[in-house]
Each structure stands twice: as C-alpha cells, then as structure tokens.
Structure 1
C-alpha cells in the first residue's frame, strides 16, 4: 500500500500526555446532560477540559460540530482532518481547524470502539467520509419536508450563541459505521455501539460544541430507497459529560498556535508614495 500522503513532525502527538489525561481518576465532573432523540444542543468546553459523549439507552449516531468559542470563524475542518489523520478517527487523532488557523481544536483521548477496526463489509466507526443529513437532500429524494435532520438540529442548537445555518459545517459522525462499497459509493450500516460506550476528547482551545442526535437513530433502518421507514424506534439520547483534569496533569501545557504562514498568497500591496 502507498504511504500516507501527509507526514511530518507537526503531526506527532504526545501520547503519554493524553494517556495520563484519559486515565485521570481525580478529574472533576463540571457539567453533564443528555441530548434527547432527534434534537441538538450546544455547549462550551473550556480549554484544558475533557468532553465525553456516551451512548445511554442504546446505539445512536451523533453529528458533532466544533468552533473556537472566542472566534467561530475558526471551526472544525472535516476534510483536512480526514487527510491529516484518518477517514475514521480514534484515540490520539486530532480534530483540525479551518484556514487560516490550521491547528488542532481537540485531541481524542478515549474511544471504547477503537478496536472495532474494519468489519467484513469494510465498515469503520467515527466517520469523516460523509456529512450531516439535511432537509434539502431529504426533500430532493422524497419530496417531503422534515425539520429534524442533523443539519436542522445543529442550526437550532447554535442559534442562542449567535450563530446561523451558515456556521454549521461538515461533521464528525460519532458512533457511525460507514465505508465505501465496490462502486466507491458511500454506505452506512447499523451502529455497533452499546449502552455505556463512549468517545472522549480534550479541548485544546476554548470550544463551542454542538451535537445532533441523528433522526436515523442507530442507522439500522434505511432512510431512503427500498425498505425506508421512520426509524424512531431505534433512536436514543446521547449523554455528554465535561471534566476538569487535575491541574498537575496540565503543567507545562500550551495551547496550539495558529498556522505560522503569514504571507499574502502572492498578492503585492501598492507602494504608497512611490
């Protein structure tokens, strides 16, 4: 197999640091709530804190967006993360931000599904291949309107924070199992998560997070085409917990700096007074 296209020391991760954070028994729970089925919620995670997403009553896919809480122009960049890390992310992978910032917003510290690997049909979990379901595609495929797709859930979730539909972006599909079939086309299959499974990340910056509990639930029922029906019976909430690690574990830690490039992309400024 060819090697990964993107390589370099800038992609190295201090695994021991994140392993210590994941194993911290002295962490303090500072926030906890559930995102009900077919809904969305946004919340803040301070820099240096951990955020855990967990399945509660059964398997459930969640669509995650991230922003720099101080400047939401900087937000999660799914496509570049897919190139720099993997198409399906897990422990020690980082979630990168958009240009011109290009730095890790978060680093994954724990994933109870990390050993799922690739199944017999080529499926893997925690997907960056696809994006959120939305009412525009639904109308195009079915001729019907439905207001509780992940895109709409996220739009409603971020509105109290002054953001709009234009701020919602391509997602990390947490707990979602996907791949590419023999025709190189995207497929989704039933979520393998079970109650108590979790996905945890460390906030490298002050983050605004938003999560939608997908109206497709665990995706065991087709949303479009033959066999499609309302999958509400396989929908479950997702739990969210935010933890503050012990201060000693963060000694010497620095927030990642934005990309060093400060050029003008070859544009020349006028020389006034020349």
Structure 2
C-alpha cells in the first residue's frame, strides 16, 4: 500500500526547488579555509558564517558524536530556524539539497545543505534516519522531570552559554537540527534515539544563504550508544567526543550570480482593517 503524497507541494520554480547543479559546484569547487575550531565535549560554541560561505561540521578521528545546531540571521535574531516548518517543506530528516527555513514573517532559506556523507544511510531496519528535526535539544528542565536531578551541561544549557557573547539569552535558544543523530518514531508513535552511525571523517556541510549566527552543542549523551534516561541509563561520558567545524570561502566565480533569498512576499494584514 502506498503512502499519501506530501501535503506541502510547491509550484515548479519556487524557492523550494533548488538549483542542484549550483550546489554541486559549490560542494566540489575550489575554496579557501577561513576559520576552523573544535567544540569540546559537553560544551557549546557560537560562530558567524557570512552569506555566500560554506560551513562543514566534521566528526573527529575520536569517533561519532551528536551535535545540536541552532541558526539565526546574524543581524536579526528574531529570524531563526523554524524546525516545524522545515519538517513540512523539506522532511523530518534532512540531507543534501534540503534547506533550513526561518520563522515568520520572513520564511526564507537560512542555509542549504551541500554535502552529507551520511546520506547513503537512508532508513535502517528500525526506521532510524540521521540529521533529524523531529526532536528538540536535551535540557535541564526535562532532565529534572525524568530524574529529579540537576545537570548543567545539557544541549540547551550549552547553547545558552554559547550565545551569551552575542547578546542573546535562553529565550533565543530554539528547536534544533540534531546533526549526526539517528532517530525515528517507534510502534507507539514515540520518539526514539539510537547510536549514531557516523564514522571518523564523516561530515555535514551547508551553504549560508544569509549572514548567519550558528551555535552548536556537543551533546552530553555523546553518540547515543548509552541511554541517558530509563532503566539502563548511566553517565555516557565515555562515548562523548568533540566536533570540528570549518568555514570556507568558495571561489568567487562559483557565486557570482547568486543572490541571498528575500523575505516572504506576503503583503497582507491578516484580515485586520485599518481606519
């Protein structure tokens, strides 16, 4: 039996339809490394990616590690990743050519994924897929509910600390893209997480469609091979590893005809009548 078609189906030529040849050229073309750093375990870091540049998140030689990613418009933090709408316009688990979309009233691409070495993972025998927008970040509030204990280095807290130098607060941290994380829905329609299939050297790369502020948390659950909650839970410190980040400037010839996407063209007043 087949599945119903996707509810959100754009007209041909819309901003949802990407120019795959353009992004393929970016993924394989000449580039210059302009920044690189490593996010330590159970930590967070924020950084800028100017429009027109590429950013690569890499699993390190130490092994797989899940990362929780937040994205904002660098000049306007009210415009930020909208995980729910991205799930509808793209998919619940994103990969090459998918875009991360911003909140209303802007509703435009923040970034486009140019390369994903885990794309071939597909769907495993338990329904798991990688790079999900299904679940949110772990946080000390839900941890208190589940365990009656406090822990200060959940992804939410790591992201809070990371964005403070940019004048942002806990209220600016939002639902994440779980990079390298393998997740799905079980037969009770409940969210599950399983060990990351990433291997040393795997990476997730994207093109900045606007000036971005990004923040990444190296999840305190590490590669998720050890349960953080439940009857078999224990401290997964032994499977926590850093994540490396690299920012590149593509050859100017590759982007000479590219323009940043504009905000939504909706000009209505939501039915409000002016005097």
Q: Same-fold call, TM > 0.5?
A: yes
**In the aligned structure 2, how far is the partner of 1:99 from the partner of 1:130?**
21
RMSD across aligned positions (CA): 0.5
1:263 CA displacement: 1.2
Aligned residue in 1 for 2:220:
215
Q: Secondary structure at the match of 1:153?
A: helix
**In the aligned structure 2, how far is the partner of 1:37 from the partner of 1:14?**
36
| Superimposed CA distance per residue, residues 177-198 of structure 1 (whole angstroms, 9 cap, x where no aligned partner) | 0000001000000000011000
**In the aligned structure 2, how far is the partner of 1:28 from the partner of 1:70?**
25
Are 1:257 and 2:259 an aligned pair? Answer: no
Aligned counterparts, 1:65-76, within 5 A: 65-76=70-81
**In the aligned structure 2, how far is the partner of 1:230 from the partner of 1:6?**
41
**In the aligned structure 2, how far is the partner of 1:186 from the partner of 1:82?**
15
Pick one of 85, 90, 93 that aligns with 2:90: 85
| Superimposed CA distance per residue, residues 155-181 of structure 1 (whole angstroms, 9 cap, x where no aligned partner) | 000000000000000000000000000
**In the aligned structure 2, how far is the partner of 1:187 from the partner of 1:30?**
37
Pick one of 51, 55, 66 that aligns with 1:47: 51
TM-score, normalised with respect to structure 2? 0.97
Structure 2's unaligned 5+ residue stretches are none
1:252 CA displacement: 1.1
- Runs of 4+ that moved beyond 3 A: none
Aligned residue in 1 for 2:5:
3
**In the aligned structure 2, how far is the partner of 1:126 from the partner of 1:72?**
23
Pick one of 133, 145, 149 that aligns with 1:144: 149
Are 1:241 and 2:210 an aligned pair? Answer: no
**In the aligned structure 2, how far is the partner of 1:124 from the partner of 1:226?**
24
| Superimposed CA distance per residue, residues 209-264 of structure 1 (whole angstroms, 9 cap, x where no aligned partner) | 00000000000011111110000000000000000000000011111000000211
Q: Secondary structure at the match of 1:137?
A: helix
Q: Secondary structure at the match of 1:151?
A: helix
Aligned counterparts, 1:106-255, within 5 A: 106-255=111-260
Moved more, 1-10 or 158-167: 1-10
**In the aligned structure 1, how far is the partner of 2:25 from the partner of 2:257?**
14
**In the aligned structure 2, how far is the partner of 1:183 from the partner of 1:142?**
22
**In the aligned structure 1, how far is the partner of 2:44 from the partner of 2:68?**
9
**How many residues matched?**
269
| Superimposed CA distance per residue, residues 84-129 of structure 1 (whole angstroms, 9 cap, x where no aligned partner) | 0000000000000000000000000000000000000000000111
**In the aligned structure 1, how far is the partner of 2:231 from the partner of 2:267?**
52
Pick one of 26, 30, 34 that aligns with 1:30: 34
**In the aligned structure 2, how far is the partner of 1:179 from the partner of 1:241?**
29
**In the aligned structure 1, how far is the partner of 2:187 from the partner of 2:118?**
25
Structure 1's unaligned 5+ residue stretches are none
TM-score, normalised with respect to structure 1? 0.97
Are 1:100 and 2:110 an aligned pair? Answer: no
